[in-house]
Amino acid sequence: MAMTDVLSAEDIKKAVGAFSAAESFNYKKFFEMVGLKKKSPEDVKKVFHILDKDRSGFIEEDELKFVLKGFTPDGRDLSDKETKAFLAAGDKDGDGKIGAD
């Protein structure tokens, strides 16, 4: 499954482009711009599974660093600071990874 099976290619391009500058990534704004906020829980899980490259059922820090590339190959890598902030926001139980729920 491709990301464009769930999200609009145009929305992905706009969202990734909006955060192309280093240290500019804001996950809340990104998810809103890419259209995830309007999607069903089922569609959000589809996107999660696309981003879960190792199919572990979790998105770990090393996968988060490349999250923008998960939406489009043109995306940049997140900085260590951006990655750690994103992980802290999504890691509800402190185990160092983000689950689908």
Residues 68-78 pLDDT 10s: 999 999 999 99
pLDDT at 90: 93
Asked if residue 60 belongs to a known ligand binding site, the reply is no
Mean pLDDT of the chain: 95
Asked if residue 77 belongs to a known ligand binding site, the reply is no
pLDDT tens profile 52-94: 999 999 999 999 999 999 999 999 999 999 999 999 999 989 9
Asked if residue 11 belongs to a known ligand binding site, the reply is no
Q: Does pLDDT of 101 surpass 90?
A: no
Q: Does pLDDT of 100 surpass 90?
A: no
Asked if residue 63 belongs to a known ligand binding site, the reply is yes
Q: Does pLDDT of 23 surpass 90?
A: yes
Contacts for 44-50: CB closer than 8 Å, 24+ residues apart: 45/100, 46/1, 46/5, 46/6, 47/3, 47/6, 47/7, 48/100, 49/1, 49/100, 50/1, 50/2, 50/3, 50/6
Asked if residue 52 belongs to a known ligand binding site, the reply is yes
Q: Could you give all domains of the chain from N- to C-terminal order, each with its CATH number? A: 8-92 (1.10.238.10)
Asked if residue 48 belongs to a known ligand binding site, the reply is no
Asked if residue 97 belongs to a known ligand binding site, the reply is yes
Asked if residue 43 belongs to a known ligand binding site, the reply is no
Polymer length in residues for the chain: 101
Note the pTM of the prediction, 2 decimals.
Answer: 0.91
Amino acid identity of residue 99, one-letter, is G
